[in-house]
Structure 1
């Protein structure tokens, strides 16, 4: 017995969404020779939170798709039909991959930053108040100069203590930056996606260069006002993002 018109339409919608997701997975993985759907899902799961979030669903949809395509009796007859809820869910996943959340949505905002002439006392107060470990430092014309970290402050203090005392009144951010390590910082624009953000951390990991932070500006230039900042701690937000959407 043939399926109803509604069932046939649901099956067609499911196949279309599945094929589009398959193409998106190929693109995410650089169109590898092995483009098996589940192989791509497994590979993408390691890199992207959206795929991790929908992993179990995608695994089940792959089985359903195989049943629809490979066990199809004729063009208008399937041995099973997807429920409307399943079709709507796979279309939702496809839409999410089409338009993934923006990196700025999981970034810490607004960004608290300091100038090179900012007093160290103000910076130390900010460390204590906001419970963070680093602040971007900017020079003239919003020129990014580096990250000032609590480790850098401790390093400066240890080198400038005399008889158990330290004079902080005239110490500026620029003085601390001289002792800071060359921290790995990357920049993204406010239009970049979570995929772009995760790829930045993934590339740094592959290059064995710890990425200290990703700073988001309007156009991705490092010399524009910071709109958001993402650290490894903020990546936890990405894994939770799908649960909140």
Structure 2
């Protein structure tokens, strides 16, 4: 058999083992069963490359069961194909997650913070959405749009009254429909992209994802990152 035959078979076996680990199955499990398990699990990385993987499987079967004169492969995989299958294997094995890309200190507000502090921060930073806590309880997201709405409604009040306004009062004029959700730090970039795609189709273009250490934000220190639609280019680049 040619050297590329051996290299391809080795690369395919590595792909088999990586998929088996991804779907929590024994490496000796039939490849078709592994792909079925991945489909049930709706693994986004494997879904992305399912056509390529099916081609690799068909080629593997062809090479395994068809030889010329008993020792010569019916086809010789190209170097580029072997390079491709290794790339797909790496993508599945090391798919990026929220914790790989979006862990950062998040600027938050307390529900009793004054409007004056909010305006000062908005004036200094480029982002416009801020998680709000009441002690350790997450209360919602404060947005620059919400601040603008509050100021528009408060035009008939005197300046001192406006200055005494708190984050709590601003949250009261934010849209009733929640435009954020919490995701685990282990959420894949494929799942993140799918969430944003669905929300944008719903017209929720300012939707944000709060990254939690674990599954939920039970206290302020559980919030370890934030993802906005502005991060979509970074998400797509790391798929």
Matched, 1:188 2:198: no
Matched, 1:154 2:164: no
The answer on whether the counterparts of 2:146 and 2:171 sit within 8 Å (CA) in structure 1 is yes
The answer on whether the counterparts of 2:97 and 2:186 sit within 8 Å (CA) in structure 1 is yes
Gaps of 5+ in 2: 20-30
Change in 2 beyond 3 A, CA 1:86/1:98:
same
Matched ranges for 1:51-200 at <5 A? 59=52, 66-67=58-59, 69-70=61-62, 73-74=66-67, 76-83=71-78, 86-107=81-102, 109-140=104-135, 142-162=136-156, 165=159, 167-181=161-175, 182-200=177-195
After TM superposition, the score normalised by the length of structure 2 is 0.72
Matched, 1:12 2:12: no
Change in 2 beyond 3 A, CA 1:126/1:29:
farther
Change in 2 beyond 3 A, CA 1:219/1:65:
closer
Give the number of equivalent residue pairs: 218
Q: Deviations over 1:77-97 (max 9, x none)?
A: 323333456435423422321
Q: Distance in 2 between matches of 1:28 and 1:167?
A: 58
- Counterpart of 2:40 in structure 1 is 30
Offset of residue 12 of structure 1: 1.1
Change in 2 beyond 3 A, CA 1:139/1:164:
closer
Offset of residue 154 of structure 1: 1.0
- The CA RMSD measured in Å over matched residues stands at 3.6
Equivalent position SS for 1:111: coil
Change in 2 beyond 3 A, CA 1:145/1:76:
farther
Matched ranges for 1:34-45 at <5 A? 44-45=47-48
1:233 to 207, 212, 230: 230
Q: Distance in 2 between matches of 1:26 and 1:229?
A: 34
After TM superposition, the score normalised by the length of structure 1 is 0.71
Gaps of 5+ in 1: 33-39, 46-50
- Counterpart of 1:35 in structure 2 is none
